[in-house]
Structure 1
Amino acid sequence: MAQSYSPEARIPPFLSATLLYALWDRLRTSFWFLPSVMAAAAIALSFVLVRADAWPGAEAVREFGWLYRFGPEGARAILSAIASSMITVAGLTFSITMLTLQLASSQFGPRLLRDFMRDRGNQLVLGTFISTFAYCLLVLRTVRGTEGSSFVPHLAVLFGVLLALASIAVLIYFIHHIATSIRVETLLAQLATETRAAIDRLYPERLGHDPMPGERRTPAHLIPADFENAARRVQAERSGYVQRVDAEALMRLATEHDLLVRVEARPGRFVTERDAVLMAHPSDRVVERVVDRLHAALVIGQDRTPEQDLEFSIRRIVEIAQRALSPGINDPTTALYCIDRLGEAFRRMAGRDLPSPLRFDDTGHLRIITEVLSLDELACPAFAALARYGIADQDVVARLLSTMDLLQGATAPEVRRAISQLSEAIRRESEEGSREFDRVRFREPGGLA
């Protein structure tokens, strides 16, 4: 029987939607991309406006004399002043940004540098200064004031002045933005927004049809008995963290070739070369072209990303709290803020149905088996990590236990048991080294804060 191929089968693996999306995400979150685009636009605009000034019809606009009072020397002076000041301010801006990154890395952790690098405000500020410099420099070369040959691009010079005025406004914005962006409240609000988006993206949505809602364990009768022996191991091509798994692409590929695919490395997992990232059954249908398309459905990079890795988003909040509780910083108030944000995220997740690890196609055939983290698998390690650092601070312990108690009332019985066991262990450990007035707080439920 002739085998049918989808249009995606003719697309080279390096041009797959998953890899292109990953490339675009790296570009738009890099510190240089937006300033480079703005500088290129400014260069193009300088040529357009200079050409517009050279058109014969442009003589009519010179009747507005109050707009155009630049002679050759005046135009050169204005453009030179703007260009020199912009490159100086751009250097100052870059230095302040680097200093901010250093402070943020030492106080909040290097994992947060990605958020500072992708900050649109910082990119816009640097791009404005560089664009203004490049624009004025290119317009300056067109000003001629020799005897018998004089040309001043009035419209282009005026636009350069407008760019300089806009740069002053941007500089004021930058000073305000850089001061607010390093506040822990601002950072935690951004991380909380990112975590909520990850919860909404990963947990309410399901791929394909799930005929057994609420069933988390994989029923043995749905998996071929020879799966482990007859499935082909799809190995990682390089070492790194799994950043993205395109489940929709895997579903199309599994349906097209009548495969059962099991995801061995979920997003956030570190893999080395030759580690299995996927298992595809049966192996005789997994030819090299299919293996290439399976590889194209995964993105492996140097670091973890929060898009499909909810555990990483939570871990970054935990890291801020751990650093705040370290002897070198000793800032328990920041740890309390972090506990509040973690409680917010876990309570949001508690109200969601856990997606099934089984993904079925439209005809009801099992196509993908994946791993789904439950609430207790995310919450208990986070709470335990905080208790490990803050067990000697009774305010931190009290807030932690209060958050866990609130979470237990909104969770399923199996999750409630796991959180309750951890809560009791933290309570016992804390009471052993606490003072008498602190023990009273733990004995009275209303005393927990």
Structure 2
Amino acid sequence: MHRFYHIISRTWDRLRSSFWFLPSIMAICAMTAAIVLILLDSLEASQLGWISEWPYAFGPESARAILSAIAGSMITVAGVTFSMTMLTLQLASSQFGPRMLRDFMRDRGNQIVLGTFLSTFVYCLLVLASVRGSGSFSFVPLIAVTFGMILAVASLATLIYFIHHIASSIRIETILAKLTAEACKTVERCFPEHRDPSAPRPEQAMAEAPPQNFDDDSRSVVSSDSGYIQSVDLDALLQMACENDLVIRIEARTGSFVSNGGALVTANPYGRVSDSVAENLGNAFSLGQERTPEYDIQFSLRRIVEIAQRALSPAINDPTTALYCLDRLGEVLETLAGRQIPSGRIVDQDMKLRVVFDPETLADLACSAFAAIARYGLRDDDLVAQLLDVMERCSRSAPTPDRETIMRLHDAIKLESPASSF
């Protein structure tokens, strides 16, 4: 079930990330609307007659001229829109890193704008083909032509929106706000439980350890494909461990790359891991060709860190952007500090150990992100001051062991900085 859900989810994610899916749906809707309105015009002409006094009555030549002008202008504007979008993608890739392309391609506003222009073009083209004006017989779909004029006005408003949207979407403040919101959603998705500062750490309640002969009597479940681990279904692993009386150790965490034949889990004892059980264990892992932020917190943070690193590079030299990145990074880490992070051991109802994995602690994520930025900006006084301030704020809301680890890095950065004011 998890594998089927992931296939559907990944397919939907790919469709959302493409430029063609939503514009294609809108174009199909426009074709349907054109057919329906032309049929309505035919019915009105033969039976109803309720628009005989239509205030905007068109002759065949006028209708053709109007529809031709709208269709020609829409396909031209659609080409310009597509070119501007490609230019924006190129600018975002060079300025903020290629990992940002995914967000720009998923931008619903750009897809709707392109779909509006294409839909209007397709609609006018179909209505234009229905206009007849030869000899004594003439047919002008007045309702359809009028609706085409309404679409033209709506397209003009969409063009104005697109100019504003494309300009605001490449602002660093907008990009960082989106990345931060997505990272906070990832934290909430992976760690839904809030942390109680007065409660003991989860690992203190875990007295049972993996069997001593775990590696000697275990079977390794390997991947049948290569790619990045996009998600791991811990509930499915726990259920299979309980049903088959296994102890499972996860070898590949979310975000890590596994090659074809790489180990996913190790299950003990060997004799209870049949081929069908091994296949089900492997199905609990979802692989893809790229890292995604849905369940990968480290990748979510890494995208913000990458923008800061690029801003501090000699080629760009934009430390103000790096300061913005530190503020947003601190926001995500403070959100993470308020969540209950699993200890790395999952037990069943009888408190028997079932699943073991290496958890990512707050200190691991924070220190990795802070150290990556510090390597590029130790000689910038403002950046170091901001970095130390964000680290202090994160450490105040972190559990004691994580707080100590973060503060050790804090003191090391303070000592290595050539600035004399710290």
Same fold (TM over 0.5): yes
Among residues 251, 255, 263, which one is paired with 1:264 in the alignment? Answer: 251
User: Hey, what does 2:178 align to over in structure 1?
Assistant: 190
Give CA deviations for 1:360-418 in whole Å, capped at 9, x if unaligned. 44565544333321011001111111111001111101111111122222222211221
Gaps of 5+ in 1: 1-7, 207-211, 443-449
Stretch deviating more after TM superposition (287-296 or 234-243): 287-296
Alignment length, in residue pairs?
417
User: Hey, what does 1:74 align to over in structure 2?
Assistant: 62
Q: Distance in 2 between matches of 1:36 and 1:362?
A: 50
Q: Distance in 1 between matches of 2:30 and 2:243?
A: 48
Stretch deviating more after TM superposition (47-56 or 33-42): 47-56
User: Hey, what does 1:236 align to over in structure 2?
Assistant: 223
User: Hey, what does 1:60 align to over in structure 2?
Assistant: 49
Stretch deviating more after TM superposition (392-401 or 231-240): 231-240
User: Hey, what does 2:125 align to over in structure 1?
Assistant: 137
Shift of 1:256: 4.4
From the superposition, tell whether residues 213 and 288 of structure 1 become closer, same or farther in structure 2 (CA, over 3 Å).
farther
Gaps of 5+ in 2: none
* 3-state SS of paired residue (2:339): coil
The residue type equivalent to 1:40 in the other structure is I
User: Hey, what does 1:200 align to over in structure 2?
Assistant: 188
From the superposition, tell whether residues 147 and 135 of structure 1 become closer, same or farther in structure 2 (CA, over 3 Å).
same
The residue type equivalent to 1:387 in the other structure is A
Among residues 153, 157, 168, which one is paired with 1:169 in the alignment? Answer: 157
Q: Distance in 1 between matches of 2:392 and 2:246?
A: 45
- Superposition CA RMSD, Å: 2.3
* 3-state SS of paired residue (1:62): coil
* 3-state SS of paired residue (2:19): coil
Give CA deviations for 1:89-111 in whole Å, capped at 9, x if unaligned. 01000000000011111111111
* 3-state SS of paired residue (2:80): helix
Among residues 342, 345, 368, which one is paired with 1:358 in the alignment? Answer: 345
TM-score (norm 1): 0.87
User: What are the residue-to-residue correspondences of 1:5-404 with 2, within 5 Å?
Assistant: 16-55=4-43, 59-66=48-55, 68-205=56-193, 214-216=201-203, 221-361=208-348, 364-404=351-391
Q: Distance in 1 between matches of 2:166 and 2:368?
A: 33
Q: Distance in 2 between matches of 1:39 and 1:261?
A: 50
From the superposition, tell whether residues 359 and 58 of structure 1 become closer, same or farther in structure 2 (CA, over 3 Å).
farther
Stretch deviating more after TM superposition (37-46 or 376-385): 37-46
Shift of 1:217: 8.1
Shift of 1:220: 7.4
CA contact (8 A) 2:193 2:339 kept: no
Shift of 1:23: 1.5
Stretch deviating more after TM superposition (332-341 or 222-231): 222-231
CA contact (8 A) 1:72 1:152 kept: yes
TM-score (norm 2): 0.92
Shift of 1:198: 1.1
Shift of 1:345: 1.3
Percent identity between the two aligned chains: 54
Give CA deviations for 1:190-246 in whole Å, capped at 9, x if unaligned. 11111111111112349xxxxx96234895735344432333322122221111223
Shift of 1:333: 0.6
Among residues 400, 409, 421, which one is paired with 1:422 in the alignment? Answer: 409
Stretch deviating more after TM superposition (338-347 or 388-397): 338-347
Q: Distance in 2 between matches of 1:146 and 1:224?
A: 90
Residue 381 of structure 2 is aligned to residue 406 of structure 1: no
Stretch deviating more after TM superposition (323-332 or 279-288): 279-288
CA contact (8 A) 2:193 2:340 kept: no
Q: Distance in 1 between matches of 2:268 and 2:138?
A: 77
From the superposition, tell whether residues 416 and 38 of structure 1 become closer, same or farther in structure 2 (CA, over 3 Å).
same
The residue type equivalent to 1:43 in the other structure is M
